[in-house]
Structure 1
Amino acid sequence: MGGGHNSLKHDPAIEKWYQMREDIYKGFRFTPYATRRVLLWGVAVPALTFYIVYDNANKWSFKGKTHGESLRR
């Protein structure tokens, strides 16, 4: 029922890509390009997101508002 074992055919290109992704850390170096990207995506974006959320945390209230009332506190 449903075929025997080893009925899945593996694509060599996908297997090669999987292997490359598993071993990516072996060839990584902090070049100026990589450092800028790490700082942007690992530090600046989370810090900016935190600032926006923290700044707007107590400015809005959705509790019990009706059609004509403002959402600002």
Structure 2
Amino acid sequence: MAGLEHHKVAMDPAFVRWTNMQNNRYKYFRWTPRTGLLATIYIVVVPGIFAYVGWKWDGAYDFRAKRRGDLLVER
């Protein structure tokens, strides 16, 4: 059967501290100008860029029923 002694090797103290920091990060988070700017960029700017590119290129390429040598661009 499976033994009860799983950790025969000592845990690395630095890894344990890092794991605890990752698990408790929300307790020590503070809004600063930098975190506000990063949140704005990742919540508004990046999706906005993807939306604009998707809107701009919507329907530009048609992959249905294309054969080798056919153009992808419908003009």
Scaled to the shorter chain, the TM-score interval is 0.7 to 0.9
Q: How many angstroms apart in 2 are the aligned matches of 1:37 and 1:29?
A: 13
Matches within 5 A, 1:20-31: 20-31=21-32
Which residue number corresponds to residue 5 of structure 1?
A: 5
Amino acid at match of 2:18: W
- In the alignment of these two chains, the number of paired residues is 73
**TM-score under structure 2 normalisation?**
0.77
Match of 1:33 in 2: 34
Mapped to 1, the partners of 2:63 and 2:31 lie a distance apart of 46
Identity fraction in percent: 29
Deviations 1:46-65 (A, max 9, x none): 11112212221211001122
Is there any run of 5+ residues in structure 2 with no aligned partner, and where? none
Q: What is the 5 A alignment of 1:1-73?
A: 5-9=5-9, 10-73=11-74
- The answer for unaligned runs of 5 or more in structure 1 is none
Runs (4+) off by over 3 Å: 1-4
TM-score, normalization: structure 1?
A: 0.78
